Amino acid sequence: MITLQNVSKSFSQFEAIKSVNLTIEKGEIHGLIGASGAGKSTLLRLMNLLELPDTGDVEVNGQTLTRLSAKELRRARKSIGMIFQHFHLVANKTVFDNVAVALQLAGSRKMDIRSRVEECLQFVGLEQMAGKYPAQLSGGQKQRVAIARALANNPQVLLCDEPTSSLDPNTTAEILTVLKNINEQLGVTIVFVSHEMDVVKRICRRVSVMEAGEIYETVSIEPIGIQAINSHPEYFVQQLKRDGE
Ligand SMILES: Nc1ncnc2c1ncn2[C@@H]1O[C@H](COP(=O)(O)OP(=O)(O)OP(=O)(O)O)[C@@H](O)[C@H]1O
């Protein structure tokens, strides 16, 4: 589903990604974890060619992206959705229009756009918020809009760059549930970048640990379950004690 072969990326003289090989299976939720600067976001952005590799091949959904023309790449990218830590919504557009924009850019017919936007907003539980503006939404609601926008073109892959890092524990759990539903109900393969171990453990089936531009190790894990986190005070006490150890 996603294969990186000897992929390298440098910024000026700095080698941010060093000849990485990685295969992510169809239907998987795959985590990328590591310290700040390890190369997680860069590796993720190489998967839809937001960053162009200096060497190596990137294959997604059976297509070698690195060998496509600009036009072919635009078409291939419709099958790869992406969400970000800071949502990247358009402030002066309504929730409805923020989602519709993805379909307009992809050339969907006007008559199809309304029903598809409504469908996507319903999937993330925001059908009542279609007329609101981003400033009127909570962080979790903004991320749901971004998810609805990413789903609009029926992607096979969803790339998630620290999607819960600005959210509180309860909202994080809600977003993880939405992502899990997308994986299980729509069969979307998910790549999930995070520096938070407990978040990754709750949602990912395999996790690649990154260090200094390389994959140190890829580990299969037993997810501990999205509901494991909640607002119970004992959870916060345990976290605080653990962090203080
Ligand atoms: N556009 C760029 N220009 C120059 N250097 C960059 C660029 N993008 C990333 N880097 C550098 O590449 C390295 C990897 O960055 P990247 O953002 O992929 O790391 P990360 O593991 O996602 O870190 P964080 O968790 O802090 O976001 C860092 O040293 C960063 O400074």
How remote is the CA of residue 36 from the centroid of ligand 1, in Å?
A: 8
**Buried (b) or exposed (e) across 163-189, using 16+ Cβ within 10 A?**
bbebbebebbbbbbebbbebbeeeebb
DSSP 96: H
CATH superfamily assigned to domain 2-244: P-loop containing nucleotide triphosphate hydrolases (3.40.50.300)
Phi, psi of 143 (to 5 degrees): -65, -35
Q: What is the pLDDT of residue 110?
A: 87
ipTM at complex level: 0.96
**The ligand 1 atom nearest the CA atom of 161:** 22
| Ligand 1: residue whose CA is nearest its atom 1 | 11
Q: What is the pLDDT of residue 240?
A: 61
Residues with CB under 6 A from ligand 1: 11, 16, 34, 36-42, 195
**The ligand 1 atom nearest the CA atom of 44:** 18
How remote is the CA of residue 103 from the centroid of ligand 1, in Å?
A: 30
**11, 20, 85: residue to mutate for ligand 1 pocket, most atoms within 8 A of CB:** 11
Asked if 16 and 213 count as a contact pair (C-beta separation under 8 A), the reply is yes
Radius of gyration of the chain (CA): 18
* Closest of 194, 173, 184, 188 to residue 84, by C-alpha: 194
Asked if 221 and 26 count as a contact pair (C-beta separation under 8 A), the reply is no
DSSP 106: T
**42, 84, 161, 210: residue to mutate for ligand 1 pocket, most atoms within 8 A of CB:** 42
Q: What is the pLDDT of residue 242?
A: 66
Per-residue pLDDT of the chain (245 residues; tens, 9 = 90+): 899 999 999 999 899 999 999 999 999 999 999 989 999 999 999 999 999 999 999 999 999 999 999 999 999 999 999 999 999 999 999 999 999 999 999 888 888 999 999 999 999 999 999 999 999 999 999 999 999 999 999 999 999 999 999 999 999 999 999 999 999 999 999 999 998 888 998 999 899 999 999 999 999 887 666 555 554 556 556 656 665 55
**The ligand 1 atom nearest the CA atom of 213:** 14
The CA-CA-CA angle for residues 76, 125, 224, to 5°, reads: 80
Q: Is 245 helix (H, G, I), strand (E, B) or coil?
A: coil
What are the boundaries of each domain within the chain?
2-244
Q: What is the pLDDT of residue 239?
A: 56
Helices then strands, each counted (H, E), the chain: 8, 10
Q: Is 6 helix (H, G, I), strand (E, B) or coil?
A: strand
What is the C-alpha to C-alpha distance for residues 64 and 33, in angstroms, rounded to an integer?
Answer: 25
